[in-house]
Chains A and B, each alone.
Chain A
């Protein structure tokens, strides 16, 4: 008789198939007309770039991660811009209506292209965008290990704490959140072990999904709900995928907060981010107050971009009655 043995822990580390890597020069090859390609090859350090800005009848600009700006000696004409747009939308405007409405397209590699032009309205809401005049290629940089310093704060007696990460825009919240997801999902931080993660990625920023496929590394136990409104998504996740942790980005509306309360009462852990740079600002957020008063979040982590992006500023911990400063950098 064959006896099937179940191993308590995987004996060896199982690595998932490698995600499709999209080298940066492929973006240039795929989307830019020939006359731009040669410029990029000779003058631009693509690996260091954070943004490529293209505006109609204006010179091309590259913004580097160091904050430096480079203005290229070439003017973008209408046909060149149209070529890039046609490559981006694969000659199929109808397929990207939702993306046009939201103002960006996510491309292979998880990079995002912001669009601006003339908005067409219907009943006061944006229906689509026409005559696009500016593009902004925002290069996604996954920082593996970005959460190494944070992970110990999320652990309390081998149990994950409900955590809120607060920072102004551009401080590395999403990068940090992505790495937390990866580490929890792959079980890289030993005291917490591995967990099933339900990732509600409304704006495709965390996993950078294209056609429902994650372009950035988010771990082997992560289920991604891509492009779904957070409030509905969290409820769907709890019902359908039974996650141990729900992770979502940039909460703020009343519906989001209600969904989080629901998740917490269902016994699911929540990790979320929010805009705000200090405790007072969080308290002023209209709908967040009840969650803070009820001490639903056991940890609140503040990030800053002073000195470097994603620097840990303050960690607050709740003991059920009070928030106390756990770590101040």
Chain B
């Protein structure tokens, strides 16, 4: 019985450790996903000259969840719910913050990008996209470093703490 309990404690602690570690992997993955989604948006805007509502709808259909439905929502907010882009963008970032592993810094990049999106001519839009992709790349690098640094630590920490707890309890 004791052994079963001890194993359960170790498993529980390691699971928490792995969960936290996984969070770091998720952030990097999601940043990468954002990069490719906004790459698509750039193509739609700068080369297809698609208006924003349709552009968001199209890229939403070509990205994976959880980003997909959020992007489609932006398009719908603009077209059917008659929100201004700033309002629609705020909604988007709030929901993105809730469902993703992104940090405040990452969301801030996106927030500034959304300010004045669609207000300039093609050259200005291209500049905005270049800036965003640069920023997302930096965030991604940082996320990778952080992941490499912290992932193992949290995994080992989980297991070690589990074992320590068992030892103390025994």
**A90 touches which one: B53, B120, B125 (CB < 8 A)?**
B53
Q: Is A91 an interface residue (CB 8 A)?
A: yes
Hey, which chain B residues are within 8 Å of A93, CB to CB? 118-121
Tell me the interface secondary structure of chain B in the complex. helix
Residue of B nearest to A82 (CB): B84
Residues of A within 8 A of B51 (CB): 89-92, 95-96
Contact A87 B120 (CB under 8 A): no
Question: Which of B39-85 touch A at CB < 8 Å?
Answer: 45-46, 49-55, 78-79, 82, 84-85
Contact A95 B49 (CB under 8 A): yes
Q: How large is the interface on B (under 10, 10 to 19, 20 to 34, 35 or more residues)?
A: 20 to 34
- Chain A residues, Cβ within 8 Å of B120: 93-94
Q: Would you call B52 and A91 a contact (CB within 8 A)?
A: yes
B121 to A95, Cβ gap below 8 A?
no
Residues of A within 8 A of B79 (CB): 90
Give Cα distance in the complex from A92 to B117, angstroms. Answer: 8
Query: Using a CB-CB cutoff of 8 Å, which residues 85-135 of chain B contact chain A?
Result: 85, 117-122, 124-125
A95 touches B50 (CB 8 A): yes
**Complex interface bits, A79-113 against B, C-beta within 8 A gives 1, otherwise 0:** 00001001101111111110000000000000000
Q: Which of A91, A94, A95, A128 is close to B84, meaning CB atoms less than 8 Å apart?
A: A91
Q: In the assembly, what is the distance between CA of A128 and CA of B119, in Å?
A: 12
- What is the CB-to-nearest-CB distance from B112 to chain A, in angstroms, rounded to a whole number? 17
Give the chain A neighbours of B117 by CB distance below 8 A: 91
Closest approach, in angstroms, between the C-beta of B105 and any C-beta of chain A? 26
Q: List 22 A-B contacts (CB under 8 A).
A: A83-B84, A86-B85, A90-B51, A90-B52, A91-B53, A91-B78, A91-B118, A91-B119, A92-B50, A92-B52, A93-B118, A94-B46, A94-B118, A94-B120, A94-B125, A95-B45, A95-B49, A95-B50, A95-B52, A96-B51, A97-B122, A127-B121
Q: Looking across the interface, which residue of chain A has its beta carbon closest to that of B125?
A: A94
7 A-B pairs with least C-beta separation: A90-B51, A92-B51, A91-B85, A92-B118, A95-B51, A91-B118, A92-B52
Instruction: Place the interface of chain A in its size category.
Output: 10 to 19
User: 15 other contacts beyond A83-B84, A91-B52, A94-B120, with CB at 8 A cut-off?
Assistant: A87-B82, A89-B51, A90-B51, A90-B79, A91-B78, A91-B85, A91-B118, A91-B119, A92-B45, A92-B50, A92-B52, A93-B120, A94-B45, A94-B46, A95-B45
Inter-chain contacts of A94 with B (CB < 8 A): 45-46, 49, 118, 120-122, 124-125
Q: 1/0 per residue A59-91: CB within 8 Å of B?
A: 000000000000000000000000100110111
**Candidate in A87, A89, A90, A97 with the most chain B CB atoms within 10 angstroms:** A90
Q: Please, what's the 1-or-0 string for B138-155, where 1 marks a CB less than 8 Å from any CB in chain A? A: 000000000000000000
Chain B contacts for A89, CB-based, 8 A? 51
The CA-CA distance from A89 to B79 in the complex, in Å, is 11
* Inter-chain contacts of B55 with A (CB < 8 A): 92
CA distance A91 to B117 in the complex (A): 8
Shortest Cβ gap from B53 to chain A (Å): 5
| Cα(A95)–Cα(B120), bound, Å | 10
Complex: chain A residue closest to B78, CB-CB:
A91
Q: Given the complex of chains A and B, what is the CA–CA distance between A127 and B50 in angstroms?
A: 19
